[in-house]
Amino acid sequence: MTNKPDIAALFGATDTSTFLGVEACEDLQNLDASSAFIGVPCATPYGAVGAYCQNAPKALRDAIGSLSANIDRHNFDLGGPIFPKGCKPAVDCGDLGWDDKDFAATRALIRRSVGQIINRGAVPIVVGGDDSIPIPMLDALADTGETYTILQIDAHIDWRRDHMGETLGLSSTMRRASEMAHITQIIQVGARGIGSAHSDDYQDALDWGAAFFPAYDIHSAGIQPVFDQIEDGANIVICLDVDALDPSIVPGVIGRAPGGLSYFQTLDLIKGAANKGRIAAIDFVEFMPEADIDGLGALTVSRLIAATMGILARQAAG
């Protein structure tokens, strides 16, 4: 058999252009939702590789499209429907455009769009795209006047001063965050193997006050020590690079490394953040569909995003 059967038809799915069939919202000024999925194909790519994750938002929408008719069914990851009765659902705000030459303009658009979502009382779910995207997302939070804890879930620590002559690329995300006055705590979970950081980059992070929980420690000691670091009631931004998850379940990344987090470890980190404080923004980045295997990574990441929508809906409802 060369053609796969249409399993979506078995689930009763209908054609949808939005994530999980949620309502589309084209006008951010009139957004009314608990969270808002917004696709960001690119921010500040390195010239050597370009926008290698630009197709991720579409691939993730496609991966979960078969369940669009089942959005009201019981989700065992959440203990009920994604959007229980009385909870405000999520919306899909489509994808932002980007300029492959004027990266500053692209960053400004990301910042402005995230700010509009926050101003409407929704939590932005920023779906990339490469891991330079969190920089303008984090910058937008400065306008709220609040302070924030970053919970980074990532195989890499991203503390390079610059890489390939670029200071705003994916290797420097957490260093740039550390330079923002409204970022007062950085907790980094999932690092493993060889990354782009040098040992002095790691030392700079320690000197700043970043707390590290490598993947090995999570497997051996669990995730509770992570939450022990977070102040009750904190505003939390989750920066989730999907290569934090093990390549056996998310193979569609640029740098596969064994020993990654499981689906439930990652989901429990998101749930725990919502229980400890308030998730103010979250990004899912670095999924590269061209490197995926039989859609496995897209399936895993899209299910994680769907569960996150449910967590944020419950957060908004108190």
Residue 5: the pLDDT is: 66
- Within a domain: 11: no
- Within a domain: 2: no
- Within a domain: 8: no
- The whole-angstrom separation of Cα 297 and Cα 36 is 22
Closest to 249 in 3D by CA, of 265, 235, 269, 268: 265
- Within a domain: 6: no
Q: Which long-range contacts (CB under 8 A, 24 or more apart) does 140-143 make?
A: 140/110, 140/111, 140/112, 140/114, 140/115, 141/114, 141/182, 141/237, 141/280, 141/281, 142/180, 142/181, 142/182, 143/115, 143/118
- Does the predicted TM-score (pTM) go above 0.85? yes
- The whole-angstrom separation of Cα 127 and Cα 305 is 9
- Within a domain: 94: yes
How many degrees, rounded to 5, is the angle at CA 174 between CA 170 and CA 175?
100
- Within a domain: 7: no
Say how many domains are in the chain: 1
Length of the chain: 318
Residue 16: the pLDDT is: 83
Residue 49: the pLDDT is: 86
- Within a domain: 12: no
Q: With a cut of 70, which residues of the chain have pLDDT below it?
A: 1-2, 4-15
Query: Where residue 290 sits, what CATH number does that domain have?
Result: 3.40.800.10
Residue 8: the pLDDT is: 63
The overall longest dimension of the chain from CA atoms, in Å, is 58
What range does the domain containing 41 cover?
Answer: 31-317
Residues 299-317: pLDDT tens digits?
999 999 999 999 999 999 9
- Within a domain: 93: yes
